[in-house]
Structure 1
């Protein structure tokens, strides 16, 4: 309820200060909305409250709409020039896939018609494919146009990788695909490695800022 209250308060403020073309951090409106869909879907599965399933579905659909709005205005040059937050382009799709997967899992005990669940499974697979496709040019650009200089926005690179690993693990359970479990474990280790690199960069950045602070000997 606290998360929903914050979302209700903050989303209008964010949209009121909207600017285009959009950048990677602009996709956080989708990420925030889908995080509510994931949480509410899990609560619905555990509590058996149908209204929570409906709320999760509404949040999921709204999150997809917000992604489409941001993506339609996204500056594709950010894939080359971004300081790390451009990875949320794929991370937002990954958490949307996680939300859809959660709905597939939560819908079963409520007697949702098989046809509707089949559509939802198809949407989940499509979102997963789009997320995977989004990661390809992002990874390719890091190789062709490396950006070794540290920026705090690099933490926005860690999130999509961690989310990709989590989605693979969750989908392997819901869709009974062992290969997805192996993929999820591999991506999770990659995300941990990137986390360590970014954490080390953050520590160096903080230490340098403290040393260079005026008034310090």
Structure 2
């Protein structure tokens, strides 16, 4: 990170603010809100295994990161507007913007579950819905009408499933807010949650078909296996969580109660699909870093690998609660600890990277 040096010939020259705040603000990854997603869901995973102080500590970190990233994003829009909007319609970088939606929803869920703060939870719900509407119809419209498009193997990755995660995150937060408000708005929010849950599932089927086709019929190098491919599992885990919360809420919404068998079937379907991905992703990771010796170094995209682990822990816990699957109790505890370790390693790597950049100033 370079700061413009003071020179006697330029006594009034000040450091470039972009370089002071971020080593490359112009190229700031839109997926960096994945850090908030990962920290927030690991916080909730820690809470469910009784680590309350850890949960609150991670909550504070997630909140600070959310505020800082919004500050950097606003600064980037003001100073590099063309680059910002070019990223939004880029096939590889554009889906990363959906981390803004999911980060807002997960932070709102933390305010409801940990702080019991409905005002902040509802405010973040509004932000998430507005972002989802704006980003969904901007990004996918642009992808449809733009003239220059990359071939499938160069234009799609696991990051596209962040659109599914964003959609399901609104379903989750809507279900949590619905519990704390009175009728008739409780029915409205539960219906919105159900609609988003169903749409997110359909979106996963569309996108996963393309991703799996890219997996199996195109050349696959270690560099292609970026960390967001863990979203293959994370998208199913958050779909499981949304379905579980809808089942729990069914007593307060007659239209949900009438379709409980349907919701249970699809929730197990989502969970089973996400579970299938875990060994596959581990094997591919070993192939990438051990067999192919691809270097393992910090990348903001690794937050996209931490998030699915925490989400799997939380979603399995809620599914077991909603359906009385006590025999699954060992999984939420095990994956909560795995997610905590993964978050700690990634955060330490982040700090090392930051300190190294400071030394290079």
TM over 0.5: yes
State the 1:122 CA deviation: 0.7
Residues 33, 78 of structure 1: alpha-carbon distance in 2 compared, 3 angstrom cutoff: farther
Counterpart contact for 1:24–1:86, Cα < 8 Å: yes
Task: State the Cα distance separating 1:201 from its structure 2 match.
Answer: 1.1
C-alpha displacement of 1:55: 0.9
8 Å contact kept, 1:164–1:187: yes
Tell me, in whole angstroms, the C-alpha distance in 2 between the residues paired with 1:179 and 1:170: 13
The aligned counterpart of 1:99 is 242
Kindly indicate whether the alpha-carbon contact (under 8 Å) linking 1:105 and 1:174 is maintained by their aligned counterparts in 2.
yes
Where do 5+ consecutive residues of structure 2 fail to align? 1-125, 144-149
Q: 2 CA distance for matches of 1:204 and 1:57?
A: 42
Is the contact between residue 246 and residue 256 of structure 2 (CA under 8 Å) also seen in structure 1?
Answer: no
- Paired residue for 1:10, among 121, 135, 141? 135
Q: How does 1:164-183 map to 2 (within 5 A)?
A: 164-183=312-331
Shift of residue 24, structure 1, vs aligned partner: 1.7
* 3-state SS, counterpart of residue 298 of structure 2: coil
- What are the superposed Cα offsets for residues 61-115 of structure 1, whole Å, 9 maximum, x if unpaired? 1111221222122132488832311101110111011111111111122234765
| Kept after mapping to 1: 8 A contact 2:171/2:197 | yes
- 8 Å Cα contact 2:250/2:257 also seen in 1: no
Alignment partners' CA distance in 2, 1:80 and 1:176: 42
Q: Closer, same or farther in 2 for the Cα pair 1:174/1:54, shift >3 Å?
A: same
Secondary structure in structure 1 of the residue aligned to 2:311: helix
Question: Given the alignment, which residue of 141, 152, 158 partners 2:300?
Answer: 152
- Determine the structure 2 residue equivalent to 1:63: 200
**1:31 matched residue in structure 2:** 165
Q: Deviations over 1:8-33 (max 9, x none)?
A: 11212221344644212111111111
SS in structure 2 at match of 1:150:
coil
Q: Aligned residue pairs: how many?
A: 213
The structure that has the greater radius of gyration is 2
Return 5+ residue gaps in structure 1 as ranges.
none
Q: CA deviation at 1:173?
A: 1.1
Q: Does residue 45 in structure 1 map to residue 179 in structure 2?
A: yes
SS in 2 for 1:145: helix
2:39 paired residue number: none
Aligned Cα RMSD in Å?
2.0
Call closer, same or farther: CA 1:79–1:125 in 2, change over 3 Å: farther
What residue is the counterpart of 1:137 in the other structure? 280
CA distance in 1, matches of 2:187, 2:168: 18
| Mapped contact 2:310–2:336 kept (Cα < 8 A) | yes
Q: Describe the shift of the 1:169–1:36 C-alpha distance in structure 2 as closer, same or farther (beyond 3 A).
A: same
